[in-house]
């Protein structure tokens, strides 16, 4: 989700709106601190093998408020291992980083606040709901984007 945002892909307006709603406390956006190490560069930087100061600025500011970060911990690590092993019994293969994100969401759902959904563009992860994880896994969405990004004075 965050990579699409920094790459300014077509979905970035949806992600911007979700972040705006989180800033005004209409919704909560949680992610694991692992995401900081996962989102390292934009596609433009990779394609040109060169860093861009504008992208660096976005990265520096991306994981502060309104994003709520949840620390990766030994508890999450053990739960992730068990989660991946359970998924295997359902013939599902989960990458460890995806397992960390899903387990973090499950932990938040149990101990912090009930989650309505887990947002991802990863099609494979969507098949894990409801048999392996009870949180609905869907693409980021908003009912309607604002007509104008800046109000008229």
Task: Indicate whether 90 belongs to any domain.
Answer: yes
pLDDT tens digits for 71-119? 999 999 999 999 999 999 999 999 999 999 999 999 999 999 999 999 9
C-alpha to C-alpha distance for 26 and 123, rounded to whole angstroms: 27
pLDDT for the residue 149:
62
Task: Indicate whether 144 belongs to any domain.
Answer: no
- In percent, the amount of the chain with pLDDT more than 90 equals 88
Domain count, the chain: 1
Tokens (6 digits) for 47: 């394609």
| CA nearest neighbour of 88 among 40, 131, 27 | 131
Task: Indicate whether 74 belongs to any domain.
Answer: yes
Task: Indicate whether 153 belongs to any domain.
Answer: no
pLDDT tens digits for 81-93? 999 999 999 999 9
The reported pTM is: 0.89
Q: Which domain holds residue 8?
A: 2-138
């Amino acid at each position: 989700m965050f990579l699409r945002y920094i790459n300014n892909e077509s979905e970035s307006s949806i992600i911007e709106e979700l972040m705006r709603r989180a800033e005004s406390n209409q919704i909560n956006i949680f992610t694991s601190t692992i995401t900081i190490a996962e989102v390292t560069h934009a596609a433009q930087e990779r394609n040109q093998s060169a860093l861009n100061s504008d992208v660096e600025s976005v990265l520096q500011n991306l994981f502060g408020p309104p994003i709520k970060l949840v620390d990766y911990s030994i508890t999450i690590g053990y739960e992730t291992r068990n989660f991946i092993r359970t998924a295997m019994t359902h013939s599902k293969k989960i990458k460890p980083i995806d397992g960390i994100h899903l387990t973090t969401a499950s932990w938040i759902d149990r101990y912090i606040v009930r989650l309505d959904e887990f947002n991802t563009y990863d099609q494979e992860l969507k098949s894990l709901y409801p048999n392996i994880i009870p949180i609905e896994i869907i693409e980021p969405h908003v009912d309607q984007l604002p007509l104008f990004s800046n109000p008229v004075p």
